[in-house]
Amino acid sequence: MQIDITLSAADTTPDRVAHRSVAVIDVFRATSVMVTALEHGIRKIIPVTTVEEAEALRASYLSQGERVITGGERNAVKIAGFDRDNSPYSYMDDRALEGKTFIMSTTNGTRAVNASRTAAAIYIAAMLNYRAVCSRIIEDNRDVTLVCSGRENRFTLEDALCAGMMADELLQRTGNAELSDIAWSLRDLYLLYRNDMKRGLSRSRHYNDLLRLGFAGDIDYCLQCGVTDKVPVVDERFQITG
């Protein structure tokens, strides 16, 4: 099994993911939110790039009598006119969410999913469900690329650490994986920080920005490792279920 890692949507060219099992990672907070929402009753998630697409899709679903919510963020805050923001804590009310379709728009995560379209299979990964996603990848028995969403097409540390953690898990469990240079490096970086993730992340710009905006609770939630076996799958229409 070959293991590779891309660092942003821009880095995720078709050749890096074609025919592979792919896990898309956006720890703060898109993929953490996706996993949480599906755990709490959401039936299907449709990631879209623009606010306009989201509004149009919502109108279309409502006209067909479907139950739908809109959520996400721009620059970490709730989009005007959307139902919910991008905090995992906004997706834990099962009774209100049960069976609904969640139309989601975020700054980075949706681009990374789109960039992965040549993959054989696409899973949604966060620290929350990393072990379960690794199990699915091992079952697939294909080469794998872990796709970090990054931030504005640049490397962001929390996604890189999640990818490194998954590379380490896959290496340990298969015993014979072949890692690219970046996969080895991020795995070693993860091992360096594993006993104090927050200290390692204290240099991360995104981490610090979220703290400044008052999202310490979201951070703590998203840094929980392997607490759910939910493995969201992206289908050929780019809709996510799990």
Binding test (CB under 8 A) with its own copies, winner from 42, 113, 127, 157 = 157
Please give the residues from 184 up to 223 whose contact with its own copies meets the rule CB under 8 A.
184-185, 188-189, 192, 203-206
CB neighbours of residue 11 within 10 Å: 18
Give the number of other CB atoms < 10 A from CB of residue 9: 23
* 104 near its own copies, judged by CB under 8 A: no
| Alpha-carbon span 11 to 195, nearest angstrom | 29
Instruction: Indicate the residue among 20 and 230 with the shorter CB distance to its own copies.
Output: 20
**Binding to its own copies, residues 2-61 (CB under 8 A):** 7, 10-11
By the rule CB under 8 A, 90 interacts with its own copies: no
H runs (alpha helix) in the chain: 14-17, 30-39, 51-63, 94-97, 109-115, 130-140, 157-174, 181-193, 197-201, 205-212, 216-222
Q: Which residues contact 76 (CB under 8 A, 6 or more apart)?
A: 86, 209, 210, 213, 215
In the complex, what is the shortest distance from the CB of residue 179 to its own copies, in angstroms, rounded to a whole number? Answer: 7
- The distance of closest approach from Cβ of residue 128 to its own copies in the complex, given in angstroms and rounded to an integer, is 21
- 76 in contact with its own copies (CB under 8 A): no
Tell which one of 181, 199, 214, 236 touches its own copies (CB under 8 A).
181
Residue 149 makes contact with its own copies by CB under 8 A: no
Residue 140 beta carbon to its own copies: minimum distance, rounded to whole angstroms: 23
Q: Give the chain's length.
A: 242
Eight-state DSSP code of residue 78? P
For position 156 contacting its own copies by CB under 8 A, the verdict is yes
CA angle, 191 then 148 then 41, to 5° = 100
How many residues bind its own copies, per CB under 8 A?
A: 21
Looking at beta carbons only, is 109 or 150 nearer to its own copies? 150
Least Cβ distance, residue 197 to its own copies (angstroms): 14
Q: Smallest gap, in angstroms, from Cβ of residue 209 to its own copies?
A: 12
CB atoms within 10 A of CB 60: 12
C-alpha closest to that of 235 among 20, 44, 11, 19: 44
Q: Does residue 175 bind its own copies (CB under 8 A)?
A: no
**Which residues are at the interface with its own copies (CB under 8 A)?**
7, 10-11, 154-157, 160, 179-182, 184-185, 188-189, 192, 203-206
